[in-house]
Structure 1
Amino acid sequence: MRNAIRRRLADSGDDRGAALVAAVAVALIGVMLVTVVVANAVAAARDSGQDRARTTDIHTAEGAVDAVYAELETWTPCSWPAGGPLVGGTSPSRTTATATIAYFSASGTALTCGAGGTVSGGTPASAVVTATALSGDGTKRSVQAKVALTPSTNQGSGAAIFAANSIMTTNNFTVTTTLPDTDVDVWVDGGNVNCNSNVQIKGNLIVVNGTVDISNSCRVTGNLWSKKQLTVHQAAPGGLQTVGQSLYVTANAYLAAGTKIGGDVLLTGTRTGGTPIVGGALRQSVAPANIPQYVPVKLPEVLYRPADWTGFVNTGDRQASYRTWVRGQAAANGAPTWADAVNTTKDQCKVAGASYDANGPLVGPAVPTVFDTTNCAETRFEGGLNIKLRSDMVIFAKSFYSTGDFKVTSADGAQHKFWVIVPDRNPNGIAECTGGAGNIKNDSGSLAIAPITLFMYTPCTIDTNNSTDFYGQLYGGTVQLRNAMTMNYVPIGIPGVVLPSTDPVGSAGYRVDVVYKREIKNP
């Protein structure tokens, strides 16, 4: 009996031991499973964190590259940011980024980028941007991009009015534009400006190396930049702004009491006069580097070069084709045989539209044509003469004068261009009023009627007077604009001539085209 009980107890103890061993085994398996799960979770979290860090670094570096693209649109930075690394986020996600820019010429020659973003050794045609991002845990990633650079200045269009020496504006002269997103620049390269009597420049006035004198309701709706002394004698009436945007003077300025400036006033000198009304900041004794800078660019030289006028008929016969055209048109109008416009013994240097001469309009050729009238001491159109264009036309003249309601119109309602050019007589690369080159003067007339656009050029003087209205551009040595003239700026340029940019020096910027962008090994 006793032995049987012992056997049963022993058997019962064996069962309990087996159960304990089984329980421990199950627990160990559970611990192992948990360890595997935790290990996998830690590994996944570590991989995810590394991926996030890498992604953050890459995106930060790419952001730095994109920021450099924006900088290149306005100037030529050597590094970014200019004042040290960009810091983003806080620990442990803190990331810093920097970028360097290397410039190359069109031939691939490396250029030198110096202080202030001045590139020397050639003109940048491309750049390599290298950006590096550094995260808080010490990881570093770099992105590099190559971009093609095209100067963003609009070469060949230039200013609405360009005066090499000086401009005098008076008596209700207005320059404006009907073109959207097109700036109007009046550029005076080397002389002074006297602006008075209800003159409106609906754009910017840039006086590169002279003074500006404003009186009697002269107003500039854009920016005004003056190299030398600016004097505003009276505030514009009716609370109007004398300068609609900002005023920059690298000298002293006298501003009459109540003068309204829509933007900032920045002077390298000091202000005298009354208290102006300024929409932005008014700062004196400003360092020149903190004001947009302009330098003289010189009036471009324009020569009589038929080869520049691709697609134009030009016989080069020194006025024979011009005379044939005038005589033929006058005859078609039924002009009297004794009229100067028809008479073969006359030179047709002076043509009137009245009944005693051409007896009507001169209809232009059906194809673009260059007429050379430089054998005339003065090419003169008067007496209600109407040149009706069927295509573009150029008149080269030694001197040009129009009066008596002379006008240029479209014969077919289509847009056509009309150039009056007094060419430089001395081909030396410098525009000069020498060698017999003369002036352009327009009196009492409508001149160019839309949709005709007009470009007038002379190295001497352009003088407009008495209700002269037109669309186009004026380029001259001295420009005198007065008496209810309205000029609507339309950029048409001159074939074969690069008109100088009106952008500030060093800040014209570039159009940026991306060649490639990729992650690279850390430099």
Structure 2
Amino acid sequence: MAVGLILMSLIMTSIVGAYGSSSGTRAGVQSQASADAGIAAAYTGLFTAGNCAAQSTPGTYSSGSAPAYAALVQYDAGSGWIGGCPTATATRVKIVSTGLAQANGVNGASSGNSSKVEAVFAYLTPGVDASGVGMYLYGGGTVESNSTLDLSEASGAGLMIKNGSLDCSKNNTVINGSVLINGNLTFTGNCTVNGSAWVAGAATLGSGSVRDNLTAARVSPNPPGSHVGGTYTQSAVVPAVPGWAEIGYTPANWIDAAGIPYEVRTVTTAAACKLPDGSLGGTIAGKPVIINALGCPGGPTASNNTTVRLTSDVVIFAQSFDFSSVNQLKFDSSSSAAHRVWFVTPDYVGTDGLPTCRRSPAIENQGNFAVKNGFTIDDPISAMLYTPCAFDGNNGFEWRGQVYSGQYSSVKNNPVFTFVQVGIAGSDLDIGAATPPITRAQPGAVVSRRDLG
């Protein structure tokens, strides 16, 4: 009798334990699903302007009935995570969701009664996203004669060449930053790279030096000795250079931070094609403008000693920009406000992944961006040049921003270049891929997702 009671007790204990275990598993599945539902609710809500702030507790999406959850929104605008709805300067959003089981576990199986999930997303806002390196010279280029390039703000290589070589000749050129060349690197003068160099072909160092590390298929002299301050690695395998970004004349891609399309102003007469010695900007003060100068023969013109004072962001589309005969052309701000200017020569062959400079037919007659004798982009203005043709910079120009050229380009005779990331509408220059415009702030791709318990 006693043995039977003991056996019965053991059986009942086993049944109750199993029931508790199964109820705990069920609760865990339910609470996990509830937490995921909270992530989905917050993610979806962030696509609608004002939805986050309109919640009963702003920044918190919650449901008291099954699936029950509380999802808290945080954002990062560059200084760490802040609780609440994302601002216009946010670059990431985090959603932390706690979900509850519809039926709790029993007999102590309570670990699954609640689950917590964290998901981080990119946060996309209207406007031109900054991307790309300081100098992207698809077809290669030459840097010489006391050139000073400050590319130190780049996280990796600040100068990239996709299909060509970098020739550094003549006197005392200094590149403050690193270079990535899918071709050869040739120093025939006293040239210095204050960073590292990755060279898919031959690195001929001459009288020059690389302060940090050098990776190249071949090097001369070999070994490089004091020409390389760090380590020399013999290898033709170098980091990938992004492909060519195809930029056409597509005004619809240009959206401001409020989601409003840029004003478009078309100029064709000689007077209208001439850059003003004075203010230039949108019709509405502070609002950006596209100046369509594609119909200006030879591109925009300017007189000597001209200062163009920007009152807003300005995009200038032209078949070419030839300022080589202009002495002292400066772009400045009309106030202390920072503005951007884009000089864009469209690539009309937008499907081949290659720069196409149509120097003929005459209807297009595309040409280089050429500057000489005191061309200046003055702080707080930053400039982005995009051309499938060449950049021809001579005689003391000063540039803040980026240069993105398709054909073999020149940087000569005492120029000063400072990298400021600007980017361009319609493309992510970091990867050389098209990006569709967005008209409202919204979450983007998943950065990370994890269960917190």
**TM-score clears 0.5:** yes
Query: Does structure 1 residue 158 correspond to structure 2 residue 78?
Result: no
Structure 1 counterpart of 2:278: 361
Taking a change above 3 Å as real, the CA distance of residues 314 and 158 of structure 1, as seen in their structure-2 partners, is: closer
Query: Does structure 1 residue 371 correspond to structure 2 residue 301?
Result: no
Structure 1 counterpart SS, 2:410? strand
Taking a change above 3 Å as real, the CA distance of residues 161 and 514 of structure 1, as seen in their structure-2 partners, is: same
Greater Rg, structure 1 or structure 2?
A: 1
Q: Give how far 1:173 is off.
A: 1.0
Q: Give how far 1:260 is off.
A: 3.1
Show CA shifts across 1:463-514 (max 9, x none): 1111101210000012210111111100010011110349xxxxxxx99634
| Structure 1 segment 83-482 matched on structure 2, within 5 A | 156-177=130-151, 179=153, 182-183=155-156, 185-196=158-169, 197-208=171-182, 210-234=183-207, 236=208, 242-255=209-222, 259-268=226-235, 293-311=238-256, 314=262, 316=264, 318-319=266-267, 346-351=270-275, 360-365=277-282, 366=285, 367-378=287-298, 379-402=300-323, 403-430=326-353, 431-434=355-358, 436=364, 437-477=366-406, 478-482=408-412
Structure 2 counterpart SS, 1:382? coil
Structure 1 counterpart SS, 2:210? coil
Q: Distance in 1 between matches of 2:117 and 2:193?
A: 41
- Contact kept, 8 Å, 1:443 with 1:468, in 2: the verdict is yes
Query: Does structure 1 residue 492 correspond to structure 2 residue 422?
Result: yes
Q: Give how far 1:231 is off.
A: 0.7
Show CA shifts across 1:409-430 (max 9, x none): 0111111101111111233353
Q: Distance in 2 between matches of 1:231 and 1:454?
A: 32
Show CA shifts across 1:160-191 (max 9, x none): 00011111111011111575x85551001100
Structure 2 counterpart of 1:135: none
Q: Distance in 1 between matches of 2:397 and 2:134?
A: 16
Taking a change above 3 Å as real, the CA distance of residues 315 and 368 of structure 1, as seen in their structure-2 partners, is: closer
Q: Give how far 1:350 is off.
A: 4.1
Taking a change above 3 Å as real, the CA distance of residues 517 and 318 of structure 1, as seen in their structure-2 partners, is: same
Structure 2: runs of 5 or more not aligned: 1-115, 123-128, 433-444
Q: Give how far 1:364 is off.
A: 3.0
Q: Give how far 1:198 is off.
A: 1.2
Structure 1: runs of 5 or more not aligned: 1-144, 237-241, 269-287, 324-345, 352-357, 503-509, 519-523
Q: Give how far 1:294 is off.
A: 2.6
Structure 1 counterpart SS, 2:266? coil
The runs of 4+ residues in structure 1 deviating greater than 6 Å are: 145-151
- Contact kept, 8 Å, 1:167 with 1:479, in 2: the verdict is yes
Show CA shifts across 1:368-415 (max 9, x none): 111000001222223111110111111111110222100100111111
Farther off after superposition, 380-389 or 390-399: 380-389
Task: Specify the code of the residue in structure 2 equivalent to 1:318.
Answer: T
Q: Distance in 1 between matches of 2:216 and 2:446?
A: 29
Q: Cα RMSD between the aligned structures? A: 2.9
Paired-residue identity, %:
24
Query: Does structure 1 residue 515 correspond to structure 2 residue 450?
Result: yes
Q: Distance in 1 between matches of 2:221 and 2:431?
A: 29
Q: Distance in 2 between matches of 1:468 and 1:458?
A: 18
Show CA shifts across 1:20-79 (max 9, x none): xxxxxxxxxxxxxxxxxxxxxxxxxxxxxxxxxxxxxxxxxxxxxxxxxxxxxxxxxxxx
Q: Distance in 1 between matches of 2:341 and 2:230?
A: 38
- Contact kept, 8 Å, 2:206 with 2:220, in 1: the verdict is no
Q: Distance in 1 between matches of 2:221 and 2:370?
A: 34
Structure 2 counterpart SS, 1:480? strand
Task: Specify the code of the residue in structure 1 equivalent to 2:307.
Answer: N
Show CA shifts across 1:302-340 (max 9, x none): 1111011113765556326xx6xxxxxxxxxxxxxxxxx
- Contact kept, 8 Å, 2:279 with 2:311, in 1: the verdict is no
Task: Specify the code of the residue in structure 1 equivalent to 2:165.
Answer: N
Higher relative contact order (CA 8 A, sep 6+): 2
Q: Distance in 1 between matches of 2:261 and 2:271?
A: 21
Q: How many residues align?
A: 303
- Contact kept, 8 Å, 1:163 with 1:299, in 2: the verdict is no
Taking a change above 3 Å as real, the CA distance of residues 245 and 158 of structure 1, as seen in their structure-2 partners, is: same
